[in-house]
Chain A
Amino acid sequence: MIVAKNISKTFKSHSTEVKALVNVTAKVDKGEVVVVLGPSGSGKSTLIRCLNYLNVADEGSIVIDGIDILDPKTDINKVRAEVGMVFQSFNLFPHKTVLENVTLAPMVVRKNSKEEARKKGMALLEKVGILDKADVYPDQLSGGQQQRVAIARALAMEPKVMLFDEPTSALDPEMVGEVLDVMKNLAREGMTMVVVSHEMGFAREVADRVIFMDEGAVVEVGTPEHFFTNPTHERTKLFLSQIL
């Protein structure tokens, strides 16, 4: 589904250069849930943003569902329509109601009729357990509710892959569970997912594979059992000892 080969990304400002990704290669198969772990600044967010072309990789190739997204001839909007993204800070549209947030893209991008989009939107809001808030504005919702709406908004495009960029990092602890539950359900339904997260429990329970990154490079890739019980690399062991 996703094949990223040897991608590198350097952020340049006036005086400094930050190598966010160095020669990263990663693969996500259809129906697989991949959790990307690593200390902050390790490049995991940059990696997931590169997959959606929000950051543009300097080198390497990224192929999503057979389409090379770094090819200048590719219509990135078409690719993005198939790739759902959930952000750390939700980024709901504050001037639209919850339902409008969910129905806007299907209407504008997919040209769905209003009725069609509405029906699908209501079904998705029910799925993420927030149907009763369909007509309120995002600022009246808790963080957990907002993030669930954001997930519904991404799902409304019926994406083939869902990318989650630290979806629970901005939430109050008691709201993390409700968002993770929605994500677990999604995984159970067979959605292909790439999740950047600090939620070790989620990784252990749901992930098919874990990618551990440090300083812009992939350090270790493996199943959750391998990763949490028997890691190969010293860096991974150190990381686990710090957080567990």
Chain B
Amino acid sequence: MGSRSLLNRLKDRNYYYVWIGVFFLLLISIVLSIYYSALQIDYTWRWYRIPQYFAYQEQVEIKSEIDGEVESISKKGKEAVVRVKGLEGTESYAVPASALTVEEGDQIYYGDTLSSYKKWRVGILMQGLWLTLKVSIIAIVFGIFIGLFTGIARISSNPALKWSAITYIEMIRGSPLLVQIFIWYFVLGTLLNNLLANNGIAQIPPLWFGVAALACFTGAYVAEMVRAGIQSIHRGQTEAARSLGMTYVKSMQHIILPQALRRILPPLAGQFISLIKDSSLLGIIAIRELTKATREVVTTSLQPFELWFVCALLYLVLTFSLSMLLQHLERRQLVV
């Protein structure tokens, strides 16, 4: 009997590994079929072109703006100051000491290179990634606050609060985000910026209308989660808190919301991941986030296959990190 069950277990384990093998086979065959199909249309993969969109070295040349003579070069650590004496006066240029291309006493003319060196610059994809991250984080923070207050207003007995909350939630959830972004930028943005211009105040850049659209969009969904979370907490909790003399606000703050937020953490995580992905729509109002940046690079580099894969991967990095972070929070709270 013993040997038989051992055999069974061995068989089970072998089956397990077989299915793992099947999984990887599936993965490899998808990759290969894409590669093969690309060969069929004579697509040339040029992965080596991709890193430059993350970071690249820029050639920097510092040029003289006057004719004259190099009067002095004074070095201070890694910096050097080149003083050029011309007929109409003296100009000084600060350059890296190691990249000098002139010496003291050299005669130079307008446009001559004084120093030439390479400098690392952040590529457009990294800039896009950073902007996506920034927009998402700001929108998430505002979304949480909007959601919290709207969620509480939603279950208030005051009709002004309650109906405002319901109207807001239904309107936001009932229309496409793309349309909302257009309204924020082309309608509200135009109105607001005209108003500001008429009063001589600086314009609000498109970025903030994009953030507002995303925050309001997320806020409506968060509000419904907050409402459900609060309502899921047993009535006895409120009664116990209030019977101790706590006000409504204090009992919300110390008793109800901490428990409710803990419960809605998993759906909140999903909502925030959606928000990161939805930020890709902001490209339509000239915000150069990751998707818009990728599109621009594609039009100049003509390597769409690599770039869109990289773009998707970068989103995955963002969303996966967020999901890990929230899972960590969730687990920590379960222990505590």
Contacts and interface: CB of A to CB of B under 8 A. Distances in A.
Contacts of B262: 95
Contacts of B243: 52, 54, 80, 83-85, 154
A13 to B, nearest CB: 16
Contacts of B254: 104, 108
Contacts of B239: 54, 85, 87, 91
Interface in B225-274: 234, 236-237, 239-247, 250, 254-255, 258-259, 262
B244 A157 contact: yes
Instruction: Determine which residue in A89, A91, A104 has the highest number of CB atoms from chain B within 10 A of its CB, and name it.
Output: A91
Interface of A (DSSP majority class): mixed
Given A94-B259, A95-B259, A109 B246 contact: yes
A78 interface: yes
- Using C-beta atoms within 8 Å of the partner chain, give the interface range for chain B: 10 to 19
B13 to A, nearest CB: 38
Contact of A81 (B237, B241, B245, B259): B245
A23 interface: no
B250 A91 contact: no
A77 interface: yes
Instruction: Determine which residue in B250, B254, B258 has the highest number of CB atoms from chain A within 10 A of its CB, and name it.
Output: B254
Contacts of B241: 93
Interface of B (DSSP majority class): helix
Given A89-B236, A91-B239, A95-B258, A154 B245 contact: no
A104 B240 CA distance: 12
B237 A91 contact: yes
A94 B232 CA distance: 14
A157 B246 CA distance: 11
A148 interface: no
A93 B258 CA distance: 10
A89 B254 CA distance: 20
Interface in B183-232: none
B66 to A, nearest CB: 70
Contacts of A150: 240
A81 B241 CA distance: 10
Interface in A189-219: none
Nearest to B259: A95
A9 interface: no
A91 B244 CA distance: 12
Given A93-B255, A108-B250, A80 B244 contact: yes
A189 B259 CA distance: 36
A128 to B, nearest CB: 16
A105 interface: yes
A108 B245 CA distance: 9
A44 interface: no
A84 B243 CA distance: 7
A109 B259 contact: no
A150 B241 CA distance: 11
Given A87-B240, A91-B236, A93-B237, A105 B246 contact: yes
24 contacts: A52-B243, A54-B242, A77-B242, A77-B245, A77-B246, A80-B242, A80-B245, A81-B244, A82-B245, A85-B240, A87-B236, A91-B236, A91-B239, A91-B240, A92-B240, A93-B237, A93-B241, A95-B258, A104-B254, A105-B244, A105-B245, A105-B246, A109-B245, A109-B246
Interface of B: 234, 236-237, 239-247, 250, 254-255, 258-259, 262
